[in-house]
Structure 1
Amino acid sequence: MEIKDVVSHTVLPFLPAKSLVRFRSVSKDWDLRIRSPFLAHQQSYFFNDLSGFFCQYYDSNPAFLTLDDHAYGVPSPSLTFLPEPVDIISSCSGLLLCQERATRSSYYICNPATEEWRELPQPQLYHGIEAATILAFEPSPLNISADYHLISAVPMLDQPVILFELYTSETKLWRVLATTFVESGDLSFTGTRFYMNGIAYWETTARKVLAFGLKNEVYEVISLPLDSPTGGVLSQIQGELCYISAFIFSGNCSIKIYAGMELRLIHVANVTLEQVPDRFPRYRVLPCLEGSVVMILVESLVCSYRLSDGKIEVVGRAGEGGGGGGADNYLPYVNSLVHLA
């Protein structure tokens, strides 16, 4: 077997989508290999590096904040290949969920790297601005057809009740679940929505996290720690659910990480960045993916903070490639070739 054949079978599945598209010009064999659905399936499972963030200001088009434009760029950062203006809602393992902006009557799921998209059927419930929908997609060796789910928490108007509605790509149907969540306090959703290991998580304005298991269709309520700063994100670090927040004092930033279903404090770090000239810079924790790195937006700089040794490094800049600092919503993105079911 020639070296190029070895590379084709052992290296290509571990590369980002943009690099693979460029490598189609190497040879006719490589072009066929990269175009094959099996390679797309392999790459969606093996490549899971954080590639950047889709972000959006209120009432504007989405933008893509890349961590490496040469490796991770997408053809249309503002998602103009979709048939109408959209708001970005949720992301998961290379797929992006969007909702039609004007009336919020339609959902679109797309792969920004390939510009492949699907319009989903209308849900049974009205998913207005108060509804919070999460995309759940788990690449695996057995999920060859790249099936995914949407789980939506829908507050009932003028009632302290939340209904759950589930969409499955296998059946292409929405189903209103029997499970209901009743809460006497504030039922509004805020902050991040997050999915990992079969469970969807929503942060509420009541400083609680609503967790819903897609398999058994039951929920649990987790209280955020009393000492945790507001404006944090739900994320996954080293296989555990985490709540990561930033507390600003006298121009310095303290990062606090709470982990596990009980959200115990596991890490505190004081972070400063010499590259930022502002005496009182703005710090914002961004959603991150599996690993031991926290992503932080400091003014216009995207920084990574490594938990293992405390090293902080500038890895991107908001405003480059259309991505901007101070956006209302940031969704982590993986540059994947995954085909849509």
Structure 2
Amino acid sequence: MSATIEIVEPGLATTVQDLGRIGHYNVGIPQSGAMDGLSADMANAIVGNPSDAAVLECTYMGPKFRVSAPVRIGVAGAPVPVKVNGEERSEWQPIDLEAGDEVSFGVIQGGTRYYVAVAGGVDVPVALGSRSTYALGALGGFEGRKLEAGDELPVGDPAEATEPREIPESVRPSFPKDVEIRVVRGLYDHLLSDAGRAAFYDSTWTLTPVADRIGLRFKGPGVEWNEREQPFGAGSDPSNIVDAGYAVGSIQIPGGTEPIILHRDAVSGGGYAMVATVISADMDMLARLSPGTTARFVEVSLDDAVAARKEMSALRASLRD
């Protein structure tokens, strides 16, 4: 009989996630998946899983769970005390559990999210090619929602896992309180005035508590828009446009005051101007930011963005070398 994970306490917002649901954004279904994909991948590497195995994404306050049979788990991401039957264990390395063992977590010590992988993966049904939870659409994961007390999650065949490993400290992500976010110019950058563009790139912005799987809102000095006659079908605010598709990582500034960066569960289109787009290599870093973190937007070229993506791909490939 395969092992199960019984949720004793669900934590604040614990969901099942994998690499994401790619290929359905054109019909309004977000990719979802682990917000901090690198940390999720590291958790999987610890227990010998492939990178696409489903894990638990734990936000701020983690769950308490009990296992029904011997399993191996790995925890990676934001620093947090890990306890097995009340005894402290370590992140970033394999943890072997026996039947009936109970795992709990202390108070998060930085960042926002950490990930729990189990050898064999969390074996919930595949929905549109992914086990990821899209809670707003009640799709995927465990019954399309965040976990609740009493849920029992099946575990896949651990025989398919390779040798476990510890993640070297040199490649573990950091959780700073001041960051640079690399961006390329967006399709509607031209709607900003010169002063507005300068304010966007030269100012320091602070992450607000309004930050979740849909997007992250920053506060700062605001930006100025060029004066123009709004096109038919757009709203009256200068940040409004006639509806257009959004890329993941798009930055909107409704009203010109607070930039919002769209993340994994964001809608695929709407009526706000996209002034810039965060490069893919920095999206995991964004997911680690906690409220109060200060940030500056740094413009890079498309070539720079592609090079950074290659570096990130190489890092993730090295986890299983």
TM-score normalised by length of structure 2: 0.25
TM-score normalised by length of structure 1: 0.24
Larger fraction in strand: 1
Larger fraction in helix: 2
